[in-house]
Structure 1
Amino acid sequence: MRLFLGSDFHVDYRENLDWLRGLSRSDFTDDVLVIAGDLSDEIDLVKACFDALSTRYRRLLFLPGNHDLWTSRSGRGSSFEKFEQLQTLCHDYGIETGSMAIGSSLIVPILGWYDYSFGEPGPTIRRGWMDFYKCNWEGLQPAQVAERFDALNMLPDTVGFDRVYSVSHFVPRLDLMPARYPEKHKALFPVLGTDRIEARIRALGSSMHFYGHSHLNRNKVLDGVTYINNAFGYPSETEISAKTILHVADL
């Protein structure tokens, strides 16, 4: 059994959804796919993804990204309610949302949000970052949202497992971003992730951690942990995204 990783499919773009629907119906039927967030803010499009992928993979694990929790188009309910709606939808499809044990391996999702531990946002981000307009956090600030999600991370007992893999949507540490990252993009750092996720990774003793959100494909070892981002990204992002579902481990 193989473990595959994908994130940030953004199927609001029809070509991305068509790509998922074009995946082989026979090559992955004994495999596991981890989806590290950002399918769509439209529930019908999330269902379309689940319809496509649940028939192709033996098991799926999904945790939501920031786009999945937007509520502006539905016009009702909070983003916390949207999170619960997605959890229920996954349950209905038989898609995992909690820790997944497969033989001697354990895969653990880590929920989160950004909390400005990577820096304070400047005026451009405060004006233009879409989450500020499209999410409804019932008046809570990002650090409070991050704390609330982190409180949901009931980390499992890892005794007896040879390997622990963890996954988040958000970036767990800022030094995963390239040192020569363009200055114009560094304004995004405050909304990329949180140090809380890294603390959870270390508490788990993960050997590999998978993440998304940044749309920048990475495979980097830091302090003994291999961090992998395999974001599909927007159609135009052909230089920073590999446009594939990545085989990351054998289970």
Structure 2
Amino acid sequence: MKLYAISDLHLRHADNRQALQTLPFFPDDWLIVAGDVGETLSEMDFMLRTLTARFRQVIWVPGNHELWTLPSEQPSLKGDARYQRLVSLCRSHGALTPEDPYVRWPGEGPHRVIVPMFLGYDYSFRPDHVPAEKALDWAMEENLLCTDEVLLHPEPYATRTEWCIARVEATRARLESLPAGCTTILINHYPLRHEHVWLPRIPRFSIWCGTKRTEDWHARYRAEVVVTGHLHIPFTQWRDGVRFEEVSLGYPQQWKHRGGIERCLREILPGAPRQSP
């Protein structure tokens, strides 16, 4: 029994949809889908129908693209209302979400808890000399403006930062209540640490890539593996004996040189052995 992960499926691209349908069946294994499935409810439904038929259990966390409110899509749901609609859709297909009880990994090994999270970002992944109120200006000096600024609405919160803070605090409370003897598999769309936001072509895009409020979560909450996406640059890195996996598929031109989509699945468990700090 294995736990796999992938993210950033971006199913508005026909090549990505076709690739998803070529995945073989993994009837004994679980799959993490770490956000950015697509921009529409129909793309989410397509992912869920396709992957829940191929894996024993699917676990989903939202990226920013799922939370976009497109003018063409009805009903026009914004912010938390859209997120809750996505959660309901996942539950209708038997997929787990950040709103469900954390489950114990049923495979071999020690007591591990699977922790899907929705945390958002607060523009804090920026240099220390850039004040929070100047973060957007700093990015726009390099002609960068994330589409989220137009399509990702924070309602009922006043700002995306406030929504992020609320999500972080609610998730922190749940993590604090976990049994002391268990380890965790932490799953989030965005990196938990600023140092992992490596974007050599667009470094100032970092402000839309997470929050410094989670910098120590891998250690504080006894993570064995941290699974993230968003960057479209897959990697395996180690910090404090914890394995960090960026598991993006990405756009067709970004993944086709890696071979078929099956080769883009990242094995999380059993995975590589834990390193010493």
The alignment's TM-score, normalised by the length of structure 2, stands at 0.81
Percentage of identical aligned residues: 24
Alignment of 1:95 with 2:102, yes or no, is no
Q: Which runs of at least 4 in structure 1 moved beyond 4 Å after TM superposition? A: 124-127, 239-243
In 1, the alpha carbon distance for the partners of 2:214 and 2:231 equals 15
State the Cα RMSD in Å: 2.2
- Structure 2 residue 187 is the aligned partner of structure 1 residue 167: yes
Distance, in Å, in 2 between the alignment partners of 1:64 and 1:148 is: 16
The count of residues paired between Structure 1 and Structure 2 equals: 245
Could you tell me which residue of structure 1 aligns to residue 158 of structure 2?
Answer: 140
Contact 1:218 1:230 in 2 (8 A): yes
Q: Is 1:80–2:80 an aligned residue pair?
A: yes
Question: In the alignment, is residue 217 of structure 1 matched against residue 234 of structure 2?
Answer: yes
How does 1:1-251 map onto structure 2 within 5 Å? 1-25=1-25, 28-73=26-71, 74=73, 76-97=76-97, 98=100, 99-103=102-106, 104-119=111-126, 120-121=135-136, 122-123=139-140, 128-138=145-155, 140-153=158-171, 154-155=174-175, 156-161=177-182, 163-178=183-198, 182=200, 184-238=201-255, 243=261, 244-250=264-270
Contact 1:100 1:108 in 2 (8 A): yes
| Separation in 2, partners of 1:94, 1:176 | 32
TM-score by length of 1: 0.89
Residues 6 and 246, structure 1, Cα contact 8 Å, conserved in 2: yes
CA distance in structure 2 between the aligned counterparts of 1:137 and 1:152, rounded to whole angstroms: 16
Deviation track 1:196-217 (CA, whole Å, cap 9, x = no partner) reads 2334333311021000111111
Contact map agreement 2:36 2:64 (CA 8 A) in 1 = yes
Change (3 A) 1:112 1:250: same
**Farther-moved stretch of structure 1 (49-58 vs 192-201):** 192-201
Q: 2:225·2:268 contact (CA, 8 Å) conserved in 1? A: no
Structure 1: state its 5+ residue gaps.
none
How far apart are the structure 2 equivalents of 1:235 and 1:188? 21
Cα drift, residue 77 of structure 1: 2.4
Structure 1: how far apart are the matches of 2:53 and 2:70? 30
Residues 71-125 of structure 1 show CA distances to partners (whole Å, capped at 9, x for unaligned) of 1232622121110001111111111113221233211112211112111232257
Stretches of structure 2 that go unaligned for 5 or more consecutive residues are: 127-134, 272-277
Question: Residue type matched to 1:157 in 2?
Answer: L
